[in-house]
Structure 1
Amino acid sequence: MKRYITYAVLFLSVIGYSQTDNDSTKVKTIDEVVVLNKLPKKFSSLPNQIEVITEKQIEFQNFQTTAEMLSNSGNLFVQKSQQGGGSPAIRGFEASRVLLLVDGIRMNNLIFRAGHLQNAITVDENMLENVGIFYGPTSTLFGSDALGGTVAMTTKRALFLDEAKKALTGNVNTRYSSVNEEKSIAFGLNYATSNFASLSSFSFNDFGDLRMGKRKNHHSDYFGERPFYVATIDGVDQLIENDNKYVQKNSGYKQYNFMQKLAYKTASGFEHGLNFQYSTSSDINRYDRLTETNATTGLTHAEWYYGPQKRLLGVYSLQKSNAFLNSDLKINVAFQDVKESRHNRRFGNYKLQNREEEVKMYSVSADLNKKFSKGELFYGFESYFETLNSSAYSNNINTGEIAAISTRYPNGDNKMMRNDLYVSYNHKVSENTFWNAGARVGYTTLKSTINDDAFFPLPFSSISQGNVTYSGTIGINHNTSQNFTIKANLSSGFRVPNIDDLAKIFESVQGTIIVPNEDLKPEKTLTADFGIVIQSDSKKIRLENTYFYTRMYDAILTDEFQYNGQSVIDYDGTPSQVFANQNKGKAFVTGISTSFYAALLNDLDFNASFNYTYGRVVEENGTKTPLDHISPYFGKIGFEYTKSWANFELYMLYNGKKASKNYSTSGEDNQQYAPIGGMPAWETYNFKTGFKVYKGATLFAGVENILDTQYRTFASGINAPGRNFYGGLKYSF
């Protein structure tokens, strides 16, 4: 695979360089949009690696969810345990080590876990203006958790009359997909005056059971078919034969998303904004758990599902130019309410266990930006206060009997507070040289109390921590000529242990129990990036390579542990090996990212990307063992043909093999859901088109996984979609 990619890149480089400078082909740039107000508008002057997915790309690609949009970009890796999920991984870091932002507000909260998360799907792609992917530690700009990078999602703005051109504008967007009988619709309506604007958006998605590919992957044997599933008939669990083993029974779900934005300009130059977002879903089955087998009953679980994942966000913003010391100012005051729950019972056990969590987040931030003749200064502060209420009960599905059970997190008072100051300065030394430096310092507190430990006695009744946090970055971007650019960046990152790290009691897989460890310290990283950009005079050819090396200190890893002197304890009636989160010394992650762009003809572009990551934990005795969440190599190769009336894209997505010897022993890599020997390599071929059918109306259509290949991505517990025909119509007025 690597050899074929190299040949293709070299061949197309020759073709691309033969284009003349008079060619009117569009030039690829990442300076198309402003993602965040903590960065200069011209991203190409920054020393760190950044990719931007624009609104135009999001609309044309027309994927079902934000997670699918990210995974198909070729820029990062996404794990899935069920159809209604998607956990982005950047440079071998995932979940609580990757920061998710929406409109500059942290989504990461005090129960973000180290395993795999589904929170990205609660932001509807139809409401996005752009997505910025920031690679490497970005704690200096964005705070805790940004070890591997940051995914910054920016939703569409309410447009004033000078931007919208009409008082009332809007759109309707529909889509149908064959692979899961998806039926989706989205509405958007913008009302504009010269000083007032309102944007209302609503979307609904109905995803049926997902059908996997039927054709054998030439890299592996068949695997992952669904021959049986559990149904409860007249109060009795029964094993039912699936009439189509390629349909992943009980993987469907529904989702609802709503957004309302208001903006008002005053005569004195202030702009007030209100941003309200709400997302909820139906129950979402944890598909990987439903497929776990049992020698006695056939399948282990009769039910295992997440309750509706509800996300509510309210933001008041105030911004003004030259508001303070000739600095532009933006203030955000935000509130978030996130509710999630887990429900499960084993086959033949009619007591359904229900564990519910509610997180509330209160935050205030001030971001300031001051311009100098040759530089730009960004500075400000952030304060986040979070609370958690964790409850649990069981109910007998036949008798209705309700009983108390152990909670996932401590059942007392759980709270966490973060207070940070940051500064970042970007300086233009000359037309060819830019440098950047920044720092952040803060203090984080955490307290968790246990009101009742009757189900699992602990040697303590509360956990309390206070941590000073800090990070810094320095980098340079130098153009040696108009054809060659060198980038170098050194940055540190940090992640403060949260309630999930410190205090949860969790059954990762049956027979394994994770217990609290109150002695955890923050984990820290130091990363060196070195990038080279080569481009033609006309910028119609661009090759970018970024090499990185990350060293982790006090890495929080799950490993064997002794609880009250015992390595095996009884949990929920099962003898379980004891594990706990621990600071396991040092670890490192290294790798390379390559992207290539060529404008072959006036309207034909070629794009290719390749990403490789290698990570190991360094034990005290010098032994190196695989670090979790390290994906195999992956990327995307494609051609795009663009006219004023239509777009066409033909592309290949590919992943390498993840061999068993490279799986982490922590269990986070979900080796039990992979074939013997590890997760096979795969590639898919895809075609997409969008064309204007009449004024204001655009028809989107395409086919994904054209060869109907059967495959599964690394660490995932559900097979990927098979051949999918989709079509949709967007009408704008």
Structure 2
Amino acid sequence: MQFFNYLDLTKMKRIYTIILFVFSGIIYSQTEQDTIKVTTLDEVVVATKWKQKKEDLPYKIASISKEAIELQNPQTAADLLSVSGKVFIQKSQQGGGSPMIRGFATNRLLYTVDGVRMNTAIFRGGNIQNVISLDGFAMENVEVLFGPNSVIYGSDAIGGVMSFQTVKPKFSTNENTSVSGNVFSRFSSANDEKTGHFDVQLGWKKWASYTSISYNDFGDLRMGTHGPNEYLKTYYVVPNFDGSDEVLTNENALVQKPSAYTQYNVTQKVRFAPNENWDFQYGFHYSETSDYSRYDRHLRMRNGLPRYAEWNYGPQKWMMNALEISNFAKGNLYDEMTIRFAYQNFEESRISRNLNNVNREIRIEKVDAYSFNIDFNKKIGTKNKLFYGVEYVFDKVNSEGIDEDITSGVQVEGPARYPQADWQSIGIYLNDQYTITDKVLLSAGLRYNQYILNAEFDTTFYPFPFTEAKLNDGALTGSLGVVYKPSNSWVLSSNVSTAFRSPNVDDVGKVFDSEPGSVVVPNPNLKAEYAYNVDFNIAKVFGSNFKLDLSTYYTWLEDALVRRDYTLNGSSQIMYDGELSQVQAIQNAAKATVYGVQFGVEAKLSKDFVFSTDLNFQKGEEELDNGEKSPSRHAAPFFGVSRLTFTHEKLELQIYTQYSAKKDYEDLPEEERGKPEIYAIDGNGNPYSPGWYTLNLKTDYKFNKTFNVTAGLENITDQRYRPYSSGLVAPGRNFIVGVRAKF
């Protein structure tokens, strides 16, 4: 299987044609007594803010259950998303994970937590790590809504929406107080992980409480033995505080120094239902990491030596207070109403220092994010169901720059990454679901959104030709979808939709080094980018033991906000961080297209065995400054996962393989070609991303109702691989063991 190291799409097609042919023969050779229904088309989802049957929606939604999370034992919420088999994860460091969905990523994807928008005004176009702030142990379920959905969610919902639903406190079913909970501990060998978790639920007739605490300690990550030598880490830097840093030989080049970090999460939820018509829920969420190294920056060289002695993200902090009020009293205006008030506080920082330089640059960003949503649904007659609502979002951005002399400890004011700014969004939407016949359902939606940005620039350090930026503009988006169900085992659907992303503070006002020799400066003259999408979806259940689903899509992006060469006061180059750098800025300067196919199979092979596979193919192009086309940066190569699961009484056992195709130098985006330090080198001396595969084993054994043990062996063949666009090499062979006690 050595050829998997250089996996290409043609070979994967041949392999899966054989696999599907073989398994089809196995499926239909089973006796009638062995066939057990494993899946249906009427799964209920909540990614649209309301409980709806998946078969009634004209777009694709993937669900990750709590049971799947417990078996897979993902270390972070980013790893949790990859459990779906439909989300590609990029990592620049161990303390991170930036999802790619249908050729889009970063601020063209939307995160929600219990229905509250997580995206802020400083979500950037570069890889973002905010998803790791979420606690996988506190999740009740996770859903991914694919494709544009600005009608419901507003700005940023271009490639998809990731909906995280945390555990809902449960009431007691009798007069006694109900008490339940979990104590869990986990160890992983590839990064010497030590994780502990505790949660407890208390329930009364009208009150309920859920408390969750988690702690993670991750050591430096070890890569695999078999793979490109370019990935080896042969050195590391020991920072000194006199400006003379040491570059030492790494005793074990498989260990990625520095990549260790720690994190803890606290969740507290309280629920109150005075009667059957009202439900109040309050949620408090807090997450904080230690400082953690941005590993890919430690791979950059200058004059034959590492460029940086330090490049760390400071503690990443996230806090959310959210109040959700639901009313189920049917009236003239609505059958159900949900009001959400939320306040979030985000803090992140960047700490960097060049090798043998006494000046440490500290850049701190804080965002106060306030949001208000009120959503309604109303059934009109027997055929019409309306969903409508309003939303208001206000983000306050505070950015600070500090320059510190490490020899004296003296700190002085330095240039901030962002201007002092605020960003507002006001939206109103209406979506109608109309049942034409028992077999045909039509849905149509419309949203109008006004976005407002005010920023004040400090010209102390950079001679910007402006001191403020103001944006006040609107966006109109819509969707039209149809669902056709010729029988209980068939669902065919199509959806045409538009989406937008309004310029945020990161687009308008950021100053940072994007790559060696380039610096991004503010540009106050921006407008929203728009996406237009069409997709087709088919889901079919054969008998009671085989399900197939297929989705195809095409998305084009206009007025895309991209980084392009720029001038500042007439100059195309300025001195930045001691280096003459090309001036660039975010501009509405490109068009982009993405198309692809998502394919899934789930099959009951016998009473105890289930086989499933998910395959994802996407291809994207974007317009360059000179009018030529380049592959889209966030269109991941072909990737997928195939699983064989055995379940019998107290044991669940899963064997699975994950894989990704290669990207040759010719297929690398222009931006990625400028990062040779994170890629392998082909025979012509050019960077490229090799294909890869892993073989894995997971098991869960329940001794009784109280105790169960989960264990796994990931990357059994110890492959050394780096997922496309990632700075961090993935874990090598990794043994995982977890012990859970339920009470």
Give the TM-score band, short-chain normalised: over 0.9
For residue 525 of structure 1, what is the aligned residue in structure 2?
Answer: 531
Q: Which moved more, 1:610-619 or 1:157-166?
A: 157-166
Instruction: Provide the residue aligned with 1:377 in structure 2.
Output: 386
Task: Report whether the alignment pairs 1:460 with 2:469.
Answer: no
Per the alignment, residue 706 of structure 2 pairs with: 696
Displacement of 1:485 after TM fit?
3.1
Cα 1:478–1:442 change in 2 (3 A) is same
Find the residue that maps to 2:646 and give its secondary structure: strand
In 2: Cα distance, 1:314 partner to 1:36 partner = 20
Instruction: Judge conservation of contact 1:671–1:715 (CA < 8 Å) in 2.
Output: no
- Asked whether the equivalents of residues 670 and 715 of structure 1 are also in contact (C-alpha less than 8 Å), the reply is no
1:196 corresponds in structure 2 to 207
1:392 counterpart residue number: 401
Deviation at 1:19, TM superposition (A): 4.0
Is 1:349 the counterpart of 2:340? The answer is no
Mean CA deviation greater in 336-345 or 615-624: 615-624
Tell me what 2:693 maps to: 683
What is the CA-CA distance between 1:36 and the residue it aligns to? 4.0
Q: How does 1:523-602 map to 2 (within 5 A)?
A: 523-538=529-544, 540-602=545-607
SS in 1 for 2:27: helix
Using the TM superposition, name which of 76-85 and 569-578 deviates more: 569-578
Q: Which of 311, 315, 318 pairs up with 1:311?
A: 318
Distance change >3 Å, CA 187–CA 668, structure 1 → 2: farther
Match status 1:706 vs 2:721: no
Match of 1:516, SS state, is coil
Cα distance between partner residues in 2 of 1:619 and 1:226 = 34
SS in 2 for 1:162: coil
- In the alignment, the residues of structure 1 paired with residue 740 and residue 82 of structure 2 have an alpha-carbon distance, to the nearest angstrom, of 23
Which residue does 2:149 correspond to in 1? 138
Match of 1:35 in 2: 46
Give the aligned partner of residue 54 of structure 1: 65
Letter in 2 for 1:472: G
* Aligned-partner SS, 2:164: strand
SS in 2 for 1:706: coil
2:629 aligned with 1:624, yes or no? yes
Task: Answer yes or no: is 1:69 the counterpart of 2:75.
Answer: no
Cα distance, 1:25 vs structure 2: 2.3
- Indicate the SS of the match to 1:584: strand
Amino acid aligned to 2:468: S
Aligned ranges 1:22-421 → 2 under 5 Å: 23=34, 25-29=36-40, 31-36=42-47, 38-162=49-173, 167-216=178-227, 221-233=228-240, 235=242, 236-267=244-275, 269-296=277-304, 298-322=305-329, 324=331, 325-372=333-380, 373-410=382-419, 412=420, 414-421=421-428
1:336-380 per-residue CA deviation (whole Å, 9 max, x = no partner) reads 000000000010002111000000011111111223423422111
Label 1:284 to 1:713 Cα distance change in 2 as closer, same or farther (>3 A): same
Deviation at residue 731 of structure 1 after TM alignment: 0.9
1:515 Cα offset (Å): 1.4
Match of 1:650 in 2: 655
Quote the offset at 1:436 in angstroms: 1.5
Q: 1:120 to 1:650 in 2, by over 3 A?
A: same
| In structure 2, C-alpha distance between the alignment counterparts of 1:668 and 1:103, rounded to whole Å | 39
Shift of 1:627: 2.1
Q: Report which stretch shifted further, 20-29 or 130-139.
A: 20-29
Q: Give the partner amino acid of 1:361.
A: A
Aligned to 1:448: 455
Number of residues of Structure 1 aligned to a counterpart in Structure 2:
724
How far the C-alpha of 1:585 sits from its partner, in A, is 3.7
Cα distance between partner residues in 1 of 2:76 and 2:384? 39
Q: What is the Cα deviation at residue 563 of structure 1? A: 2.4
Task: Spell out, residue by residue over 1:696-729, the C-alpha distance to the aligned partner (whole angstroms, 9 max, x if none).
Answer: 1110001000001000001110100000001001
Q: Which residue of 1 aligns with 2:7?
A: none
TM-score by length of 1: 0.96
Check the 8 A contact 2:210/2:270 in 1, yes or no.
Answer: yes
CA distance 1:195–1:230, change in 2 (3 Å): same
Cα deviation 1:26-74 (Å, max 9, x = unaligned): 4224755543463442112211011000111111111111111212431
| Structure 2: distance between partners of 1:316 and 1:142 | 18
Give the whole-Å Cα distance in 2 for the aligned partners of 1:566 and 1:390.
Answer: 26
The answer for unaligned runs of 5 or more in structure 2 is 1-11, 682-686
CA displacement at 1:163 relative to structure 2: 9.5
- CA deviations 1:321-346 (Å, max 9, x no partner) are 02652421111111000000000001
Partner of 2:231, secondary structure, is: coil
Change (3 A) 1:480 1:163: farther
After TM superposition, give the deviation of residue 174 of structure 1 in Å.
1.0
Match of 1:722 among 725, 732, 735: 732
Aligned amino acid, residue 664 of structure 2: A
Cα contact 1:393–1:403 (8 A) shared by 2: yes
The SS at the match of 1:83 is coil
Query: Distance between the aligned counterparts of 1:177 and 1:257, measured in 2?
Result: 19
Which has the larger displacement, 515-524 or 645-654?
A: 515-524
Amino acid at match of 1:376: K
Report the alpha carbon displacement of residue 667 of structure 1 after superposing the two structures with TM: 5.0
CA–CA distance in structure 1, aligned partners of residues 114 and 649 of structure 2: 31
Residue 698 of structure 2 contacts residue 711 of structure 2 at CA under 8 Å; is this kept in 1? Answer: yes
Match of 2:3 in 1: none
TM-score (normalizing by structure 2): 0.94
Displacement of 1:672 in angstroms is 4.0
Change (3 A) 1:668 1:499: farther
Q: CA RMSD in A?
A: 1.9
CA contact (8 A) 2:35 2:604 kept: no
- Helix, strand or coil at the partner of 1:508: strand
Q: What residue is the counterpart of 1:431 in the other structure? A: 438
Mapped to 1, the partners of 2:534 and 2:275 lie a distance apart of 47
1:247-288 deviations in Å (ceiling 9; x for gaps): 111201000000000011114732222100000010011011
Query: In the TM superposition, what is the alpha-carbon distance from 1:22 to its structure 2 partner?
Result: 5.1
- CA distance in 2 between counterparts of 1:511 and 1:82 reads 22
> Could you tell me which residue of structure 2 aligns to residue 505 of structure 1?
511
CA distance in structure 1 between the aligned counterparts of 2:43 and 2:590, rounded to whole angstroms: 42
Which secondary structure state, in structure 1, belongs to the residue aligned with residue 296 of structure 2?
helix
Alpha-carbon distance in structure 2 between the residues aligned to 1:234 and 1:400: 10
What is the aligned counterpart of 2:679 among 651, 674, 680? Answer: 674
Preserved contact between residue 241 and residue 358 of structure 2 (Cα < 8 Å): no
Deviation at 1:183, TM superposition (A): 0.5
Q: Measure the CA separation in 1 of the matches of 2:178 and 2:18.
A: 53
| Secondary structure class of the residue paired with 1:718 | coil
CA–CA separation in structure 1 for the residues paired with 2:276 and 2:592: 53
Provide the secondary structure at the position in 2 that maps to 1:290.
Answer: helix
| Bigger mean CA deviation after superposition, 125-134 or 472-481 | 472-481
Contact 2:672 2:725 in 1 (8 A): no
What stretches of structure 1 of length at least 5 have no aligned partner?
none
Secondary structure, in 3 states, of the residue corresponding to 1:159? coil
- Kindly tell me: are residues 26 and 166 of structure 1, through their superposed partners in 2, closer, same or farther at Cα, counting changes over 3 Å? farther
**What's 2:4 paired with?**
none
Aligned to 1:308, the other structure's residue is in SS state coil
Using the TM superposition, name which of 610-619 and 334-343 deviates more.
Answer: 610-619
Q: 2:453, 2:504 within 8 Å by CA — same for their partners in 1?
A: yes
* Percentage of pairs with the same residue: 37
Moved more, 285-294 or 151-160: 285-294
Shift of 1:632: 0.5
Q: Which amino acid aligns with 2:335?
A: S
1:659 shift after superposition: 1.7
Per-residue deviation, residues 400-453 of structure 1 (Å, max 9, x unmatched): 12122111011x3x0011111111222333332222211111111001012x31
Tell me the CA shift for residue 483 of structure 1.
4.6
Cα-to-partner distance string for 1:603-642 (whole Å, 9 max, x where unaligned): 2111111111111124698632222211101000110112
Contact residue 559 and residue 666 of structure 1 kept, 8 A: no
Out of 518-527 and 15-24, give the one that drifted further.
Answer: 15-24
Q: Does 1:494 align with 2:500?
A: yes
Whether the 8 Å contact between 2:353 and 2:361 is mirrored in structure 1 is yes
